[in-house]
Amino acid sequence: MDAFLTVDTLLPMLVGLPLLAAILTTLLKSYGLRTSISIAVALIQLVIVVALLSWLSNSGPSLDTQHQRYSLGGWGAPLGIDLTIDGFSALMLALTATLTLVLTIYSGYYFSEPHSQLDKTARFWPLWWLLIMGINGLFLSGDIFNIYVTLEIIGLAAVALVALDGSRAALTAALRYLLVGLLGSLCYLLAVALLYRTYGTLDLAQLSAIAEPTAITWAALALITTGLLLKTALVPLHFWLPLAHGSAPAPVSAILSALVVKTTLYLLARFWLDALEPAATDYGLLMLGMLGAAAIFWGSIQALRAKRLKLMVAYSTVAQLGYLFLLFPLFLSTGDTRDAGLSGSAVSAVAYFIVAHACAKAAMFLAAGNIMRTVGHDEIDQLPGLAKYMPLSLFTFAIAGASLIGLPPSAGFISKWLLLNVAIDTGQWWWVVIILSGGLMAAMYVFRVLNIAFISVDEKVQTEPKSSINEQLTVNKLPTLMPLCAFLLAILTIILGFNAELILDLVTIGGDV
């Protein structure tokens, strides 16, 4: 058994399995078969990741870097492509596998309804699995050109998924998303060209060993940052996100907001804190932090003003992404953490924040999808009294909202508390003000929705919207598993809140690759 549980068998399977699922779901014609295969593959993927995690935690912090690598086809770096794993990427893989399973089950029901045409579901599953393959591949890649390829796989699959709805608004959002994505990856590719010319290697680990603070490295880092910030949608490069995430089908919005924008953030952390660390100037780190602060305010204000529920959740993603960029300046002033590479306390805080936000935001998008499915629209003002008809979905929304605000005992509370801790430890009190006021603004937009949904029906007894909800509800009865999937994710944020140690320990394993 021990011989089986090694990186040599597990790492390639994480990329190969979703690819196999993509091929099978393309070939098979029966809807039921496609769905059952997808759920089976999602389950196997979770088992593989759990095996990988147990192997990693058994190896402990003393993990030998040689055993974190798998060379594809037996060709090692610098010529071949290496798959690598450490605590940070293992955590991201675990998050991906968990969300994939829940969202796959949800999608099985979401696309099975009679009013979604069958050809739409035929296109959904292959694209879905290509997206998962890209995400897994990105977290496993130890090679900057391979990362470019996975970025493009993720980008193209995500665009096709956004366009799945086929409406003009969805297609326009998809086209804009595609152009932004292509621009971002071209900037990244130019940086890859510069780095390879200068250092003669594409391997991340080798690069971090030989990178020097020269003008070329600096230019490459600037290009990588521009390209990836476009894809991560940090203010002011966020303009494409609300429409793309707001127009996509609910499970797609969920994975885009929960995982896809985090993949590029993960890469930014790798490049700034590890691979190209010598070129990461204090001003650059500070600038990323300030953009993050701007994102918190701008995203929250737009979320408050949004008329549609899904658009509000999408703007909330813009705001929450801002928190993640506070990582960079927090990293700056502590000389100790700077040496610790990717195992410092600021990185743990952000890794935990990514997981917390991913679960909460996926739960929120699924709840919004349930509401949209049942009521037929998601205009916030038209939802009074909804809580009476959809208690579970609203409860899910409330728990996820509590996590976004940062109320205990949710994971959102722990993640904000961790960020605050690092900010105070490093003596940068001004970030504390931003983190706290961001939480306050999140409370405002979450309670705005809950307030309307919980208006008691007596007050509005004669109003039009209520009766229309009532009629719609009998027509569009949701399969019970759909609200349950959303609820499961919301509960997960609470469970994570109680088990923060597990995650924080994991991040530190093999951190300095």
Partner 1 sequence: MTQELLYNIASIGLFGIGLYGLIVAPHIVRKILAINIMSMGVFMLLVASASNVNGTPDPVLHAMVLTGIVVAIAGTAMALFLAGKIHTLGQASDKDDH
Interface residues toward partner 1, by CB under 8 A: 79, 145, 149, 152, 155-156, 159-160, 163, 168, 171-172, 174-175, 178-179, 182-183, 185-186, 189-190, 192-193, 196-197, 202
For the record, the structure tokens of 321 come out as 């992404």
Residue partners of 488: CB distance under 8 A and separation at least 6: 102
For residue 171, the number of C-alpha atoms closer than 13 Å in the C-beta half-sphere is 3
CA torsion through residues 24, 30, 33, 34, sign: positive
Q: Name the one residue in this structure whose structure tokens are 């991201």.
A: 92
- Cβ proximity to partner 1: between 43 and 190 the closer is 190
| Residues constituting the chain | 513
Going from the C-alpha of 396 to that of each of 52, 378, 400, 438, 493, the distances in angstroms are 31, 16, 6, 21, 11
CA angle 372, 378, 383 (to 5 degrees): 105
| 236 cis-preceded (ω within 30 degrees of 0) | yes
Q: Smallest distance from the beta carbon of 405 to partner 1, in angstroms?
A: 37
Contact 476, 109 (CB under 8 A): no
Residue partners of 270: CB distance under 8 A and separation at least 6: 204, 342
Contact 404, 357 (CB under 8 A): yes
Q: Smallest distance from the beta carbon of 194 to partner 1, in angstroms?
A: 8
- At residue 81, the 3 state secondary structure works out as coil
Q: Smallest distance from the beta carbon of 190 to partner 1, in angstroms?
A: 5
Per DSSP, the residues of 207-251 read HHHH----HHHHHHHHHHHHHHHHHHT-TTS-TTHHHHHHHS-HH
Phi first, then psi: give them for residue 70, nearest 5 degrees: -135, 125
Contact 361, 255 (CB under 8 A): no
Q: Smallest distance from the beta carbon of 120 to partner 1, in angstroms?
A: 14
Closest by CA to 502, choosing from 94, 99, 116, 125, is 94
Find the radius of gyration of the CA atoms of the chain: 22
